[in-house]
Amino acid sequence: MTSSTPNTTPTASPRRAAVIGLGSMGLGMALSLQRAGFTVTGCDVNEAQAAKFATAGGEITPSPAEAARDADVLVSVVLNAAQTEAILFGPEGAADALPEGAVVVSSATMAPEMARALAGRIEATGRLYLDAPISGGAARAAEGQLTILASGSAAAFAKAGPALDAMAAKLYALGDSPGTGAAFKMINQLLAGVHIAAASEAIAFAARQGLDLRKVYEVITASAGNSWMFENRMPHVLDDDYTPRSAVDIFVKDLGIVEDMARSAKFPVPIAAAALQMFLMTSATGMGRDDDASVARLYARITGTALAKQPSQPAPKT
């Protein structure tokens, strides 16, 4: 496919995409766009991540500005609002380089007010902005099977449509105001973070009582105490495998955003606050980059409780 001609009808399919941020989510999204027929240019400050996309046949550029040139849709999949602002408006930022009428699909998790502010600045320049946080993990990103929680103008939805189709199995259109998608994402993160901390507390407490943890997993996942996170994360504890699928520090960040939002709204969130402290303690003891189920390891270490049947270190040779 050739690139679309500028200024055709607003529903013409955009076929050139830029993806800024080629981490575990962004890389999968870039590959999904490529598979759907987009010409994709990627960019990441981490050269190793960028190289992975190049190896998969993608084009990489050294700056967001160069990636954005001629793009119909720019997907921003960086860590947070500050990084999103930097790749759009910082030195060699994408905003000025992006063709007029192109759309920024902004997928980093951030506070709603940040999404509204970024949307305002982008729209003031004649580009479109879709507040589009994502959910689903790296595997579903690679399969083009993400959930996207999107809000923005009808024009932004129309322009981003083919790219959203390529990346998402489920698209929630949550209204015409940027920030609404971000707000839904933060409600999800509040619950997800609390559920990981609660699952960790419960499984470690079960271990302390000498219960068979695989039986605990079987009973709880079939009972009213179940959560998506309990079911998804506790196998990491049972297998004593803390390879990061999603890291502890992600929830230090996301529950931190929840707390900031809540304090600013004078809204108490004591359960989320307690969960954040557990992620902080886990990070503080050096496990910030490990899998977020490591909160269970923190409970276990504090209390001298064994979580796994086998010791995690090899037995000494005799």
Q: Which residues are catalytic?
A: 185
CB closer to a second copy out of 264 and 312: 264
**Minimum CB distance to a second copy, residue 215 (Å):** 7
CB 3 within 8 A of CB 18: no
Closest CA to 194 of 285, 280, 255, 260: 255
Q: Is 195 in the site for a second copy (CB under 8 A)?
A: yes
Q: Is 276 in the site for a second copy (CB under 8 A)?
A: no
Q: Is 289 in the site for a second copy (CB under 8 A)?
A: no
Distance CA 35, CA 172 (A): 22
Q: Is 197 in the site for a second copy (CB under 8 A)?
A: yes
| C-alpha distances out from residue 306 to 130, 212, 241, 242, Å | 47, 12, 14, 15
Closest CA to 203 of 172, 181, 229: 229
Q: Is 142 in the site for a second copy (CB under 8 A)?
A: no
Cβ count within 10 A of residue 49:
18
Q: Is 266 in the site for a second copy (CB under 8 A)?
A: yes
**Minimum CB distance to a second copy, residue 274 (Å):** 4
Q: Is 194 in the site for a second copy (CB under 8 A)?
A: yes
Binding string, residues 228-247; x marks residues near a second copy by CB under 8 A: xxx-x---------------
CB 155 within 8 A of CB 10: yes
Judged by CB under 8 A, how many residues of this single chain contact a second copy?
A: 64
CA dihedral for 233, 235, 239, 245, sign (positive or negative):
negative
Give the DSSP H/E element, type plus range, for residue 172.
strand 168-173
Exactly one of 12, 155, 158, 273 binds a second copy (CB under 8 A); that residue is 273
Closest CA to 33 of 172, 158, 168: 168
Binding string, residues 157-186; x marks residues near a second copy by CB under 8 A: -------------x-x-x-----x--xx--
Q: Is 260 in the site for a second copy (CB under 8 A)?
A: no
How do strand 146-152 and strand 134-135 relate by DSSP bridges? antiparallel
Closest CA to 83 of 73, 69, 98, 94: 94
**Minimum CB distance to a second copy, residue 282 (Å):** 12
Q: Is 192 in the site for a second copy (CB under 8 A)?
A: yes
CA R_g for the chain: 21
Binding string, residues 211-230; x marks residues near a second copy by CB under 8 A: x---xx-xxx-xxxxxxxxx
Q: Is 147 in the site for a second copy (CB under 8 A)?
A: yes
Binding string, residues 97-136; x marks residues near a second copy by CB under 8 A: ---------------x----------------------xx
Distance CA 28, CA 146 (A): 10
Task: Give the footprint of a second copy on this chain (CB under 8 A).
Answer: 112, 135-136, 147, 149, 170, 172, 174, 180, 183-184, 187-192, 194-195, 197-199, 201-202, 204-206, 208-209, 211, 215-216, 218-220, 222-230, 232, 261-262, 265-275, 277-278, 299, 302-303, 305
